Amino acid sequence: MSSPVMVAMSGGVDSSVAAALLMDAGHEVVGVTMKLWGGPSDTGCCAVSDVDDARRVADRLGIEHHVFNFGEDFERDVIEPYVADHAAGRTPNPCIECNRHLKFDRLVRRADALGFDMIATGHHARVVSTPAGPRLGRGVDAAKDQSYVLHVIEESVLARMLLPVGELTKADVRRLAMDLDLRTAQKPESQDVCFITNEHGRAAFLGQRIPLKPAAVIDRSGEQVGEVESVEMVTIGQRKGLGLAGGTDPKYVVDIDVTAEGDRRVMVGEKAGLTAPVTELESWRWVGVPVDVPLRFQCSAHGRVEPGRIEDGRRVVWDEPHRRVAAGQSVVGYDTDGVVVGGGIAGRTPL
């Protein structure tokens, strides 16, 4: 019998199949579900029904299942920074912060306390062995790859990580779940932000926590052309909800300034203004030592991977002009084999 493995079971099909595959490989498997968000959830992985689905899958597989309540940690490390970022005119990645602080820190520390050497999840990514140590690589199913949101995993954690479904396509995963008669086999995929409901939306969520403030919409010449009710709701590239007059060429948000009280501004411009030769970075961290190889960068969970280079650890210089990246978004670098070599946070790129 192999070492016992703690499997994080979200109540979805991927983590259900991950647990089953590890059992088939001879591991002693214990399933755990993190209870993170205590409020309403109808779009993500934190609903009461998800905990119940995970428990029933564990029963079907004949493994232990436990629920860990990390609600206070989630509020402090995910919700509060998410709200603060919006108040500062930034566009945060709450799923990445959840991975950073909850799944691959708080949960790992709980695994240590309980004596688990190995942990596993159902993410579509791979742990790649390299001469420099374990690295995170893209999953086999390019359309479902989740390495972008996992890039924050530390090397010491990667060394004890198992990602069984990273070698499979999503169709393979569902087929295996159906063969095993798992209740999650046809379960729809969760959305990115578990605490924002379809019923009430992001504005209602933020409005309960911070005052939402109006801002003038200006063009590149500085002339006011519209107004938004909530500058905290605006992001780079946005086209709708800007209060612009009809009958003109499409305008897009190219800059946001929330720094001046009473003079908050959203700048709009033509589509050509959405691109820039560089993306400024607030931070950048190499995985291991810096590498001098051709790089590809991804700037959103479902975005394309495009070539560029890191300059002085302060900016990405693109091979071709790239769509402006909203401040607060993660920027992840890959080598040509799809292995994560570094990651950082985008800052505000001047026009």
Choosing from 45, 46, 95, 98, which is the catalytic residue? 98
H helices of the chain, in order, are 13-24, 48-61, 71-74, 80-87, 94-98, 107-114, 147-150, 155-158, 170-179, 201-207
CA-to-CA distance for 185 and 12, rounded, in angstroms?
8
Cβ atoms 308, 319 nearer than 8 A: yes
CA-to-CA distance for 288 and 159, rounded, in angstroms?
14
For residue 101, which of 71, 132, 142, 66 has the smallest C-alpha distance?
71
Q: Is the dihedral of CA 176, 182, 188, 191 positive or negative?
A: negative
Cβ atoms 302, 348 nearer than 8 A: no
Give yes or no: 95 in active site: no
Work out the angle at residue 53's Cα, subtended by the Cα atoms of residues 115 and 81, and round it to the nearest 5 degrees. Answer: 70
Q: Burial, 279: exposed, middle or buried (Cβ in 10 Å; 0-12, 13-18, 19+)?
A: buried
Q: Is the dihedral of CA 254, 258, 260, 265 positive or negative?
A: positive
CA-to-CA distance for 280 and 315, rounded, in angstroms?
4
Provide the phi-psi class of 9: left if phi over 0, else alpha when psi is between -120 and 50, else beta: beta
CA-to-CA distance for 210 and 156, rounded, in angstroms?
38
Give yes or no: 194 in active site: yes
Bridge partners, 227 (sequence order): 216
Say how many residues make up the chain: 351
CA-to-CA distance for 86 and 74, rounded, in angstroms?
17
Residues annotated as catalytic (active site), given as ranges:
98, 194
